[in-house]
Amino acid sequence: MAASTSASSIPAGRQERVELLIDRQDVLHECESESRWVGPQWATRIQLATSFDDLNGDLNVTVWLNDSFSFTDFFPEWPLGGRCFDDKTKVHFELVVANNQDSACLKKKGTFFEAGRFHGQYMYAEWNTGLSSQDILEDDGWINDAGELRVQATLTFPSVREPQRKTDYTQKMAQVTFLLSESPPLFFDKRILVAQSEYFAEMLSNDSWIEGRTHEVDLRNNPDANQQTVHAVLNFLQHGDFQAQGDETYAMSVRRLADQYRLEELIKRVDDELTHLLSEGNVLTLLRQVVGTGGVLEKRCMAMLRADDWALLEQQKEKLFQLSKEDGALSARMVELFVEATGSWRAAKRARTASSDSGWWYNDWTYP
């Protein structure tokens, strides 16, 4: 049997959180409930479902995984082609039946390697909570003030890349010094900089640049420049590799440095890494940082907002409006998106009205 896979030994990637609110009446009648499918359409998606055991009425919680789509279905320019290749057996899950008193919450943790089963193209993990419908209704703590039982699932996917090989650039073996504000300087070979970057070639080969005269690059006032991010840029120039290690803030700092130094290949690599970290929880935050760049990450964020008949756009509209107030470029992009969404909704309404005398109900957008 293969060795067990622990979540702590696997570099973390994308994280998704799903919540399901079950009405008191559905608990009383022991009805089945399910969430919508969550996650980018080009990656493994998640659905949370609940049911009650026919014999003892115990609450069962099931989390489903599905990856029926591929990257190239959405992004023909994707260089590797094929699927996202999430290793579902290494996905870590935490299931929670939430009591209003935190100490009384029921939790289940594990990986799909340990608990996963297959049903057709789907993989799932099931948890019998041991909590009956009668327990839920009779204990005042389980149903919240809105008359609902709250069930949550948090899934953490493994990183799509193996950890990169690191070189110790703190050893002085090169001719160019990178000065940093909060750590020792990094030293790098000028020959690699000149060969791999037109920007550094111009900077270091021209006496009109202070860096060309001193062979020092002063980054002490650059908020994105620290030992980790500059190390990542230099490592990419030498080895052609970059891994976000599940840290989108770090990746965005590297992306901004790559943009500053016109390292187009590094920008693409960072965008690919961030695509694998895209989730419903961070898509607006990432979009805000790349809006207007016209790059692949911006396109993938927009594609995620358009998916499932704009469901995510509607779900997070209040957060989106708030971010738009703070960012003019994002606001302009959202106006374009709202116009597109409204056109799609109206077209869908006309089509459904034409095919059914009963008409079609839909939600109008209301600005907070």
Q: What residues form DSSP beta bridges with 158?
A: 12
pLDDT in tens, 258-303: 999 999 889 989 998 898 888 888 888 888 888 878 788 888 888 8
Q: What confidence category does residue 121 fall into, taking pLDDT thresholds of 50, 70 and 90?
A: confident
| 76 close to 183: Cβ distance less than 8 angstroms | no
pLDDT in tens, 182-203: 899 999 998 888 888 889 989 9
% of the chain with per-residue pLDDT over 70: 74
Domain boundary among 158, 191, 210: 158
Residues 272 and 292 in one domain: no
- Whole-angstrom distance, CA of residue 306 vs CA of residue 334: 12
User: Tell me, what CATH number does 263's domain have?
Assistant: 3.30.710.10
Task: Judge whether 164 lies within some domain.
Answer: no
Residues 302 and 263 in one domain: no
Of 39-53, 102-116, 303-317, 349-363, give the range with the top mean pLDDT.
39-53
pLDDT at residue 102, as a whole number: 58
pTM exceeding 0.85: no
> How many Å separate Cα 303 from the centre of its chain?
13
Domain boundary among 244, 277, 310: 277
Does the pLDDT value for residue 85 go beyond 90?
A: no
- Which amino acid, residue 291? V
Task: Judge whether 148 lies within some domain.
Answer: yes
Per-residue pLDDT averaged across 9-13, rounded? 63
Q: What confidence category does residue 83 fall into, taking pLDDT thresholds of 50, 70 and 90?
A: very low
**HSE of 187 in the Cβ direction (CA atoms, 13 Å)?**
7
% of the chain with per-residue pLDDT over 90: 30
Residues 265 and 315 in one domain: no
Per-residue pLDDT averaged across 355-367, rounded? 44
- Whole-angstrom distance, CA of residue 255 vs CA of residue 224: 9
- Whole-angstrom distance, CA of residue 257 vs CA of residue 271: 13
Task: Judge whether 368 lies within some domain.
Answer: no
Does the pLDDT value for residue 145 go beyond 50?
A: yes
Residues 106 and 247 in one domain: no
pLDDT at residue 310, as a whole number: 74
Residues 48 and 154 in one domain: yes
Does the pLDDT value for residue 78 go beyond 80?
A: no
Domain of residue 20, residue span: 7-158
Does the pLDDT value for residue 363 go beyond 70?
A: no
Query: What is the tally of structural domains in the chain?
Result: 3
Task: Judge whether 360 lies within some domain.
Answer: no
Query: What is the phi/psi pair of residue 194, to 5°?
Result: -70, -40
Task: Judge whether 180 lies within some domain.
Answer: yes
For 363, counting Cβ atoms within 10 Å of its Cβ (0-12 exposed, 13-18 middle, 19+ buried), the class is: exposed
pLDDT at residue 367, as a whole number: 36
The overall longest dimension of the chain from CA atoms, in Å, is: 83
